[in-house]
């Protein structure tokens, strides 16, 4: 089978299938074999692993995953890529393409169905290794993290700016509600920085690969996870405003209620949301939850 890391070969395959690259679907195909190896290495794959890939594109990363994992299920939304994937992956007995929308897939159920329940809700945990479409990175991540799926490691390529946001610390401009959510569910670590020149066609931004290791136990104890995320979103809703004004502006409760909650938690109301740690957000959410329960 031909190598898929040569732009000339990629153009030939694309042209032979009459395929048109769709920017609307974030189709920028990674061609650098060295970076592909590093992505797979970062996931610590073994022959006992089931791996999901979202957006396999031409199957370049998929083929490398298949060398190290027991089975790879590649989810592709663009039906126009299916004939190409059949050509590039059809010879691999442990690689399977699933046509579908990743945002609508129950990955636990799919894992169970395709492995005779060895993986999934009643079986072993699986992994995600993917070059995510940049236009839909955040929704996919939140679907994977909040869906309750039996997923233990995610190694994903994304826009560098977004990757840095995921591991940002309190107090910086990159720290936001997405940082809090990802750090609540996982331990994030940027493992590779990727220039835009290694893609075909080249995107307008540089990329990064981040490894998200799923926490077995959340880092904070919450009365209500739903209330916690409501409070986090409210605190970041108006970044230029003080915490008391952002919380009040969210409509969750009156200024008087928030003032009382902040006094009880010992958090200065003139601080801004981006300065609060996960522990402080947890204290704020728990105190607020107790106040509304009476």
Integer CA distances (angstroms), 134 to 28, 117, 157, 197, in order: 9, 32, 9, 16
Q: Is 131 annotated as a binding residue?
A: yes
Q: Helix axis angle, 7-16 relative to 82-89, nearest 10°?
A: 120
Q: Is 30 annotated as a binding residue?
A: yes
Distance CA 71, CA 170 (A): 39
Q: Is 15 annotated as a binding residue?
A: no
Q: Is 32 annotated as a binding residue?
A: no
Residues in the chain: 294
**DSSP result, 69-128:** SSEEEEEE--GGGHHHHHHHHTT-TTEEEEES-GGG--HHHHHHHHTTTSBSTTSB-EEE
Distance CA 41, CA 234 (A): 38
User: DSSP secondary-structure letter at 63?
Assistant: H
Residue carrying the six token digits 């990674």: 30
Q: Is 28 annotated as a binding residue?
A: yes
- Cβ neighbours around 204 below 10 Å, total: 9
Q: What are phi and psi of 8, to 5 degrees?
A: -65, -40
Distance CA 25, CA 65 (A): 22
**What residues form the annotated binding site?**
28, 30, 55, 76, 101, 131
**What residues form the annotated binding site for S-adenosyl-L-methionine?**
28, 30, 55, 76, 101, 131
């Amino acid at each position: 089978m031909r190598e898929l890391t040569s732009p000339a070969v990629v153009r030939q395959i694309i042209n032979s299938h009459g395929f048109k690259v769709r920017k609307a679907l974030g189709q920028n195909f990674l061609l650098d074999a060295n970076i592909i190896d590093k992505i797979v290495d970062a996931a610590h794959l073994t022959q006992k692993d089931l791996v999901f890939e979202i957006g396999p594109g031409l199957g370049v990363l998929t083929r490398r995953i298949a060398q190290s994992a027991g089975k790879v299920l590649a989810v592709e939304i663009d039906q126009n890529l299916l004939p190409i994937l059949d050509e590039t992956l059809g010879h691999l007995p442990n690689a399977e393409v699933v046509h579908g929308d990743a945002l609508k897939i129950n990955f636990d159920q799919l894992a169970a169905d395709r492995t005779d329940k060895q993986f999934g809700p009643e079986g072993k945990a699986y992994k995600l290794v993917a070059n995510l479409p940049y236009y839909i990175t955040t929704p996919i991540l939140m679907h994977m993290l909040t869906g309750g799926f039996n997923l233990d490691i995610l190694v994903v390529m994304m826009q560098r700016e977004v990757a840095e946001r995921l591991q940002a610390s309190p107090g910086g401009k990159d720290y936001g509600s997405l940082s809090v959510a990802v750090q609540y569910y996982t331990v994030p670590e940027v493992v590779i920085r990727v220039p835009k020149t290694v893609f075909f066609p080249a995107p307008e931004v540089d990329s990064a690969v981040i490894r998200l290791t799923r926490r077995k136990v959340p880092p904070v104890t919450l009365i209500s996870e739903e209330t916690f995320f409501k409070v986090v979103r409210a605190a970041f809703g108006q970044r230029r405003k003080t915490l008391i004004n952002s919380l009040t502006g969210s409509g969750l409760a009156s200024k008087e209620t928030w003032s009382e909650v902040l006094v009880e938690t010992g958090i200065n109301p003139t601080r801004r949301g981006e300065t609060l740690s996960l522990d402080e957000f947890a204290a704020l959410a728990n105190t607020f939850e107790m106040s509304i329960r009476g």
